[in-house]
Amino acid sequence: MVVLSELPEASSSTHGHSPSTSGPSSSTDGYRYDVFLSFRGVDTRHSFTDHLHKALIDANITAFLDDEEIETGEDLKPELESAIKASRASVIVLSKNYASSTWCLDELVLILEQRMTYNHIIIPIFYHVEPTHVRKQQSSFGDAMAEHKQKMERETNANKRSQWAQKMDRWNKALTEVADLKGKDVTGRLETEFIEEIVKDIHRRLHAPLRNAQQLFIGMDYHINFVTSWLKDGSSHTVDILTISGIGGIGKTSLAKHVYGLYSHEFHKSSYIEDISRRCDGKYNGLLDIQKQLCGDIAKTSSIQVYDVSKYTSMIENAIARKKVFLVLDDINTLHQLDALLGSKGFHPGSKVIITAKDRCLTESCALFKTNIKPKHTKHLLHGLNETESRQLLCSHAFMCNHPKEGYEEVSGKLLEYCQGHPLALEVLGKLLHNRGVVYWEGCMKGLKKETNDRINNVLRMSFDSLPSKNDKELFKHIACFFVGIDRDLSETILEACDINTGSGITNLIDKCLLSIGRNNELKMHQLVQEMGRFEVDQESPDKPWKRSRLWCHKESFRVLKRKKGKGNLLGLALDMRMLEKEKLGASYELKTDALTIHNDLRRGKSWMAHA
């Protein structure tokens, strides 16, 4: 009973009062803003910073932005102090004239103090300046500090001169400190791409749930409470790992991301790595990039480039052994990925790891669990939404309320029945049908009977693609086409006779959340998963059914039999025998397939292939 969530938000600020925000106040951990933008107006107000601010707005990131210039020499306004303290992160645009503003320097000192006290996130941007010039106060930064020093020396009041000296000492230390942080350099980059990268980084590092999107968490209360309890109840002397599993689109990522945003600040170090299987798929350095991200989050990394997965694993092992960490590894697909990111040497006591995976048994097979220091492992399986939650989610997207509009009750009911509580399907179809008439809804339902929505199908297909063997994929397609609702023992007897290994195969399908066993020992499959399996068979030959391996549509089976086609391709078909009787085909018709021979007087044990 979970729903997909989306990326977090952030905010931005500059110097001054009269803040302009790009969204409503934040309620995350009591913060009002996500990001404070610190910049020198004369350098970037009408160029880079303005473009960055607009990108933050477009990304639904709450931003504090000063719309007035700052007069050099003025004290930092109380409004700015409050904005910095009310922000979860700061983006500091270090441009040529940044240090010429005492206001900017005061902001910088306060921002760095927040980092030390409240885990305030800082993202320095070196905007056409050299980090070494900032660190050592050289070039324009040296000129600015020299000018401040001259003003101090011209001060005749001893107390004020002493205050200036103390300020300058703090400014010098702050510039050195910010230059030593991991920052971003715009030199040689397209600003549009650079800004997009910054916004993505803010999303990744803040991990806050979207505001104004309560519909994204419909049905998640139980699961949020479960994971929260798991986080809170763990001993400081143990290491706990939680595996959240379920079919694609059921809400694993949403749940993990939401909880991470709530509690990551309670650990020494934390890291959220999203979409691991996709990032590794077909990309040569995909796993290396992920390891680099993880190391950057939890450890001080050297400037030396590493191109060996095993060396990065060793660096990760050293880091997690020294610090209490909270890791979320989203969509782990293979043991190789898991071993590369967790290693085998163990974690610092009190650490927590959440793994989301389509295979609920993958985690306990990794190298970490084969040692004497194996952690405590908890599994949590996500199911679909109940009827009330499903209706609320669908209507929140389709009608912007909790109930169907008048006249839409019947067609909404049909769509709810089709989705069977699948959050992604409810969200995608709800958005698709927003502001559409009833006739359009009915047409959409007819279309779905022929072909599943591409986005939904692609998400579900990832589980199928991850099956470990051809046998398991063939078994899945057999069950999707013919065996849903059939007794497990009978199904296994028939499939084994067709040279399909069901012993490990059915277990693998259950582990991948593609199959379940009902109370009466029948095989069960979510309707959308079943449709995805049948779609895979359809794609073998979309326009020529006789070239497919399986036929479950009685009309198509009848046409293929009548035309005497498909003799070399079919492994099985479903046929209502009454259709033969109506056509008076007699008992002479027969069709041989690779897996079995179907006669009009079907032999016992294979009748599942012929009857409705």
**Which of the residues are catalytic?**
107
**Nearest one of 199, 428, 242, 231 to 330, comparing CA atoms:** 242
| E strand or H helix that includes residue 114 | helix 102-118
Q: How far apart are CA 94 and CA 110, in angstroms?
A: 15
The structure tokens 């290693």 sit at 343
Report how far apart, in Å, the C-alpha atoms of 563 and of each of 116, 560, 585, 591 are.
Answer: 78, 5, 12, 11
| E strand or H helix that includes residue 198 | helix 191-206
Cβ(125)–Cβ(96) under 8 Å?
A: no
| E strand or H helix that includes residue 327 | strand 325-332
Q: How far apart are CA 203 and CA 373, in angstroms?
A: 34
Q: Radius of gyration (Cα) for the chain, nearest Å? A: 30
Q: How many CA atoms lie within 13 A of 376 on its CB side?
A: 14
Reading the block at residue 171, the tokens are: 């400014």
Reading the block at residue 493, the tokens are: 């007897």
The structure tokens 């009548």 sit at 562
Q: Give the angle subtended at the CA of 35 by the CAs of 201 and 296, to the nearest 5°.
A: 35
Reading the block at residue 272, the tokens are: 């959220």
Q: Identify any residues that bridge with 598 across adjacent strands, giving them in sequence order.
A: 591
Q: How far apart are CA 435 and CA 398, in angstroms?
A: 7
Q: With H, G, I as helix, E, B as strand and everything else as coil, classify residue 91.
A: strand
Report how far apart, in Å, the C-alpha atoms of 447 and of each of 280, 454, 566 are.
Answer: 34, 12, 27
Q: How far apart are CA 165 and CA 161, in angstroms?
A: 6
DSSP state of 612: -
Q: How far apart are CA 347 and CA 321, in angstroms?
A: 5
Count the helix, strand and coil residues of the chain and give each as a percent rounded to the nearest 5: 50, 10, 35
Cβ(593)–Cβ(571) under 8 Å?
A: yes
The structure tokens 């499939």 sit at 495
Q: Give the angle subtended at the CA of 533 by the CAs of 577 and 572, to the nearest 5°.
A: 35
Q: Which amino acid is at 359?
A: D
**Nearest one of 48, 130, 144, 163 to 100, comparing CA atoms:** 144
Other beta carbons within 10 Å of 154: 9
Cβ(183)–Cβ(123) under 8 Å?
A: yes
Q: How far apart are CA 139 and CA 342, in angstroms?
A: 44
Q: Give the angle subtended at the CA of 388 by the CAs of 385 and 391, to the nearest 5°.
A: 85
The structure tokens 């294979």 sit at 606
- Strand ranges (DSSP E) for 485-558? 516-517, 523-524, 550-551
